[in-house]
Structure 1
Amino acid sequence: MAEGTLPNNQLTLVKYDNPTLVTTHDKKAQKRHLQAMGGRPTTPGFPQAPNIPGLSGPGNVCQDAGMSKKETEEILNAILPPKEWEEEGKLWRQMVSSVPATRVDVINLQEHLDMRLKQRQARETGICPIRRELYSQCFDELIRQVTINCAERGLLLLRVRDEIRMTLAAYQALYESSTAFGMRKALMAESGKAELEMKIQEVIERKENLERDTQELRIKIEQLERKYNEQKDAEEKKHAEEIQFLKRANQQLKQQLESIIAPKKGG
């Protein structure tokens, strides 16, 4: 990497001036410089309006429509803070460019956007952090170009950008909370599922035991019915034999009686 060049992880579609070497490493001096440039901390997810010279009030109403180049640069630096990085023990700073954009710059911006989307393999549809980052850089560059020609219009676009970011942050927080809620419900359902599976297994085992008992009882019933039928057949056979014996005995007695009575009638 050449001296004073922007690191690859800080490449952006926003147009910046050439880097300048910061001769001091005094952190307090850097902090005072950033405060003078309008930079101040913001609450994550709820962007605050930058401290813009020439503007006042909660609505950021412009007091002076005719702004000088210096005031425009201050507004640009407040909207897009300078980039700083260390290289070989040296601190470099790169300010946002205040050069007005031409039609060719807009065309080049579109080409660079398409090229970056292709290089970083951003997805064309759905949620894609890479695509969102590149389009956010493109929007910042458009804000820079518009602010140079009309600071009021640029500040209005800044409000639109911050509102979009705040809405996306709210949706992201909602998505994360809903994801956590879904995970908790899934874990609860998983634990309940294991309990239900145990109950189902118990019911299945009980059903199998009952079916086994039913089968055993059915076999016993069949055995009892067969035994009863055999006893019934034996008793009926015995009863029939007794009847036949009694009939024969009766017939013999009848014949004997007739033989006794017949001679008496003849005499």
Structure 2
Amino acid sequence: MEENNDRSNKIDFAALNDSLDKALDENDVTEEGTMINPPRHNIYKDYFDEVILQLSTVNIDEATLLGRIRDEFSATSDAYKKLYESSVAFGLSKAIAMRKENEKLHSRIDELLNEKIALLDENEFLKRKLNAVAKEEERKRELETRRYKLELRRLKVRNDSIKRGLETCLVDPNTCEEMSLILESNK
């Protein structure tokens, strides 16, 4: 009778295994992958509960042990799930923060490029203004040089005229009166 009971348990477990495969196929759940796949996780959880239930009819101690293993596995799985979710949330918050920082940096780059363009424009304006002022100063210097040369020539001519007049005065004292009139008119 014990052999018959063992045989019926094996048949029940074989049917349960076939049922598990069928449930995985119907839900398009692969055998590989992470436990974070909720449909796969739920199917295995349900079938593990069924195994414990069927085993409890045969051996309550083994069923109790499997129940403890199931509970520990479930707690570990929940801890991993929470860790995963918090990691994803942390990663998303970091990604959002980095995106905002990136947008700020791009905005700052645009501001700096605009400022650079404005400064380059101002630099060109100031260069043109400097060139204009330099040309104006050169023109003024040339004008002053011409005036200076004209004044110098005028003074040389006057000086030569006075010199000749004095020399004439020294030679002929009568011409000195004429010379004084010329000197007074040249002042």
TM-score (norm 1): 0.45
Q: For 1:150 and 1:134, how far apart are their aligned partners in 2?
A: 24
Q: Which has more helix, going by share of residues? A: 2
The reply on whether 1:122 has 2:59 as its aligned counterpart is no
RMSD: 4.2
Write the mapping of 1:27-38 to structure 2, written as runs, cut at 5 A: none
C-alpha separation in 2, matches of 1:101 and 1:163? 29
Which blocks of at least 5 consecutive residues in structure 1 are unaligned? Answer: 1-97
SS in 1 for 2:80: helix
Decide whether aligned partners of structure 1 residues 101 and 224 sit closer, same or farther in structure 2, where only a CA change above 3 A counts: farther
Aligned equivalents of 2:21, 2:168: Cα separation in 1: 139
Pairing partner for 2:150 from 225, 241, 245: 241
Q: For the residues of structure 1 that align with 2:87 and 2:139, how far apart are their CA atoms?
A: 76
- Measure the CA separation in 1 of the matches of 2:91 and 2:27: 31
- State the shift of 1:217 in Å: 3.7
1:226: which partner in 2? 135
Among candidates 61, 67, 71, match of residue 162 of structure 1:
71
Is contact 1:100-1:148 (8 Å) kept?
no
Normalized per residue, the structure richer in strand is 1
More contact order relative to length (CA 8 Å, sep ≥ 6): 1
User: Aligned residue for 1:17?
Assistant: none
* Deviations 1:195-224, CA, capped at 9 Å, x for gaps: 777777666666655555544444333322
Q: Deviations over 1:175-197 (max 9, x none)?
A: 44555566666667777777777
Residue of structure 1 equivalent to 2:185: none
Identity among equivalent positions (%) equals 30
Aligned position for 1:66? none
Q: What is the CA distance between 1:234 and its match in structure 2?
A: 1.2
8 Å contact from structure 1 (residues 99, 148) kept in 2: no
Residues 101, 145 of structure 1: 8 Å contact kept: no
Give the aligned residue type for 1:125.
Answer: G
User: Which one has the largest radius of gyration?
Assistant: 2
Q: What's the CA shift for 1:230?
A: 1.0
After TM superposition, list the pairs within 5 Å mapping 1:2-81 onto structure 2: none
CA distance in 2, matches of 1:183, 1:235: 76
- Structure 1 counterpart of 2:51, one-letter code: L
CA contact (8 A) 1:100 1:149 kept: no
